[in-house]
């Protein structure tokens, strides 16, 4: 039997979309029992949209199969699902019974929602004095903008990161394909919860965590903030330029939209690089003789290096360069990663069997613990799949009671 780090810890997950659910699944990946609280009348948006199998037959925003949305499968693995109508007094009473048996309650609702439901920290503390609650919101629980509706790209725009994304000397671009804002906030949230659990172990006391996703985003922009604090310099897009390294760029390779990233820091690496690419005459020119000159002439340098990389695939270039101790690594898309031998050996992606979809591949874990590793014990749950386990086994309701409550719409 493998020991899980958070064995015995129970989490009530009121999260929807990305940030809350990701926090929940990371705790579940490490052994916590995470119960996702859902409702047929208020379905997690991540359950909607184009399903994995088949086309978007409903058209517009809504897909048909709530158990087959790919984003949901990744973000809610290892969890239990219950359906409860929180607006019904009996439903809310059952949730409060569950809180008595739980250690952590998480949500990423708009500020004020949990309080209106009577599920805020002050209320829950009455039920379970040592409860730990965490609320993730776009801008925080209070403040003049806390009512703003926020999604991941908005977070990175407001936190100051997007203003730095673009080609050197050109207008800002943004990184819209990334959910980075939610992801960064989520992992910071896990850390806060674990710290709170550690504190509770020592003192028996719980507490509340108010996490603003924008604040989590700005807290990791130390260089730009200190540069402004010291020199009133406003960080602008730098493209792939580096203040101290040249060569430093993504270079075009043979094939359609194929690139290899190359970065050279020391004179030793530069010499190895020149040797690896066959010591062409241009590498002996004055204007590339040291880091300062190379930085000064980086555009021409990049053009000349591209003449070399265009002859190779990214993986061929990586092999030649790494053999010489030079940092050359392909720009990978998810297909490259899926077939990559390093990713395969590390089991970066995990294959599981889902009862409705069959074989599916999920992303794995951001750390490898040697003795108590993370694992996917169960796939993402169907809507309300664990009503019987949670209300029956955990709360002691009989089969008849559960059926009656379901018919009455309380467990829906």
Partner 1 sequence: MADKALAGVKVLEWANCISGPYCTKVMADLGAEVIKIEEPGFGDEARRYGPFPNDIPHPEKSGLFLALNTNKLGVTLNVKTPTGRQILEKLLTQADIFVENYPPKVIRDLGLDYDHLKEINSKIVMTSITPFGQTGPYRDFKAYEINCSAAGGVSVGIGQPDREPLVMPASQGAYLAGISAAVGTLFALFAREAIGEGQLVDVSEVEVWTNVVTGLAVITYIYRGVTGIRQGRRTGYAYFPSGTYPCKDGYMCLTAPQQAQWERFLELMGKPEWAKNPRYTSRRRMNEEIADECDNLIMPWLMERTKEEIFSLCRKNRIPFAPLRAINELFEDPQFRARDFFVEVDHKETGTLKYPGAPFKLSKTPWAIERAAPLLGEHNEDIFVKRLGYSKEELATLRRAGVI
Question: What residues from 11 to 40 belong to the interface with partner 1 (CB under 8 A)?
Answer: 26, 30
140 binds partner 1 (CB under 8 A): yes
Output the smallest distance, CB 24 to partner 1, in A: 14
Q: Which of 26, 43, 42, 45 is nearest to 34 (CA)?
A: 26
Q: Which of 118, 174, 392, 409 binds partner 1 (CB under 8 A)?
A: 174
Structure-block tokens of residue 348: 């970066």
E runs forming strands in 72-181:
79-83, 104-107, 132-137
360 binds partner 1 (CB under 8 A): yes
3-state class of 11 per DSSP? strand
In this structure, are residues 379 and 73 in contact, taking their beta carbons and an 8 Å threshold?
yes
10 binds partner 1 (CB under 8 A): no
Output the smallest distance, CB 358 to partner 1, in A: 10
Output the smallest distance, CB 231 to partner 1, in A: 6
Residue count at the site for partner 1 (CB under 8 A)? 155
Structure-block tokens of residue 376: 């996917």
Q: What is the DSSP string of 332-365?
A: --HHHHHH-HHHHHHT-EEEEEETTTEEEEEE--
105 binds partner 1 (CB under 8 A): no
Output the smallest distance, CB 43 to partner 1, in A: 14
What is the distance between the alpha carbons of residues 324 and 160, in angstroms, rounded to a whole number?
Answer: 38
Q: Which residue lies nearer to partner 1 by CB, 353 or 370?
A: 370
Output the smallest distance, CB 23 to partner 1, in A: 10
What is the distance between the alpha carbons of residues 36 and 38, in angstroms, rounded to a whole number?
Answer: 6
Q: Which of 108, 179, 283, 387 binds partner 1 (CB under 8 A)?
A: 179
382 binds partner 1 (CB under 8 A): no
256 binds partner 1 (CB under 8 A): no
Give me the count of residues in the chain. Answer: 412
Q: Per-residue b/e over 180-208, b at no fewer than 16 CB within 10 Å?
A: bbbbbbbebbbebbbebbeebeeeeebbb
Output the smallest distance, CB 140 to partner 1, in A: 5
Q: Which of 43, 148, 310, 375 binds partner 1 (CB under 8 A)?
A: 148
229 binds partner 1 (CB under 8 A): yes
Whether the link from the prior residue into 44 is cis, omega within 30° of 0, is no
Structure-block tokens of residue 88: 């019904």
In this structure, are residues 358 and 352 in contact, taking their beta carbons and an 8 Å threshold?
no
In the shown chain, the binding pattern of residues 51 to 90 toward partner 1, with x for contact by CB under 8 A and - for none, equals -xx------xx--------xx-xxx---------------
Region from 90-98, 154-162, 275-283, 392-400 binding partner 1, contact rule CB under 8 A: 154-162
Q: Which residue lies nearer to partner 1 by CB, 4 or 39?
A: 4
Q: Which residue lies nearer to partner 1 by CB, 144 or 396?
A: 144
What is the distance between the alpha carbons of residues 403 and 137, in angstroms, rounded to a whole number?
Answer: 36
Output the smallest distance, CB 38 to partner 1, in A: 19
In the shown chain, the binding pattern of residues 188 to 227 toward partner 1, with x for contact by CB under 8 A and - for none, equals xxxxx-xxxxxx--xx-xxxxxxxx-xxx-xxxxxxxxxx
Q: Which of 166, 119, 146 is nearest to 13 (CA)?
A: 119
Question: What residues from 393 to 412 belong to the interface with partner 1 (CB under 8 A)?
Answer: none
Question: Who's near 168: CB < 8 A, 6+ residues apart?
Answer: 237, 238, 239, 240, 241
Q: Which of 92, 117, 154, 295 binds partner 1 (CB under 8 A)?
A: 154
Q: Which residue lies nearer to partner 1 by CB, 92 or 350?
A: 350
């Amino acid at each position: 039997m493998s020991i899980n780090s958070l064995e015995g810890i129970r989490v009530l997950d009121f999260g929807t979309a990305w940030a809350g659910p990701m926090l929940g699944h990371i705790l579940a990946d490490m052994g916590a029992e995470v119960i996702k609280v859902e409702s047929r009348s208020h379905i997690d948006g991540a359950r909607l949209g184009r399903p994995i199998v088949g086309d978007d037959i409903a058209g517009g925003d809504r897909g048909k199969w709530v158990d087959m949305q790919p984003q949901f499968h990744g973000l809610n693995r290892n969890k239990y699902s219950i359906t409860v109508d929180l607006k019904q007094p009996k439903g809310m009473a059952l949730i409060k019974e569950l809180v008595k048996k739980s250690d952590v309650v998480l949500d990423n609702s708009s500020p004020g929602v949990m309080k209106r439901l009577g599920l805020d920290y002050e209320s829950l503390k009455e039920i379970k004095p040592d409860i730990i609650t965490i609320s993730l919101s776009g801008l925080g629980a209070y403040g003049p903008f806390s009512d703003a509706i926020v999604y991941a790209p908005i977070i990175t725009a407001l936190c100051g990161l997007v203003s730095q994304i673009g080609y050197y000397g050109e207008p800002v671009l943004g990184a819209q394909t990334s959910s980075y804002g939610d992801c960064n906030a989520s992992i910071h949230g896990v850390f806060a919860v674990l710290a709170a659990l550690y504190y509770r172990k020592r003192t028996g006391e719980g507490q509340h965590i108010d996490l603003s996703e924008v604040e989590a985003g700005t807290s990791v922009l130390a260089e730009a903030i200190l540069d402004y604090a010291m020199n009133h310099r406003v960080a602008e897009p730098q493209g792939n330029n580096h203040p101290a390294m040249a060569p430093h760029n993504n270079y075009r390779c043979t094939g359609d939209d194929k690139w290899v990233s190359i970065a050279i820091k020391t004179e030793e690496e530069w010499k190895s690089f020149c040797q690896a690419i066959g010591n062409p005459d241009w590498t002996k020119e004055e204007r590339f003789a040291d880091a300062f000159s190379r930085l000064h002439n980086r555009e021409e340098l990049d053009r000349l290096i591209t003449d070399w990389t265009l002859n190779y695939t990214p993986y061929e270039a990586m092999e030649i360069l790494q053999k010489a101790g030079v940092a050359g690594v392909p720009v990978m898309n998810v297909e490259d990663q899926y077939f990559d031998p390093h990713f395969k050996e590390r089991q970066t992606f995990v294959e599981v069997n889902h009862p409705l979809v069959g074989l599916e591949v999920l992303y794995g874990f951001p750390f490898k613990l040697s003795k108590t590793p993370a694992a996917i014990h169960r796939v993402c749950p169907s809507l309300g799949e664990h009503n019987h386990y949670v209300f029956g086994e955990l709360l002691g309701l009989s089969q008849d009671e559960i059926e009656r409550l379901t018919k009455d719409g309380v467990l829906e």
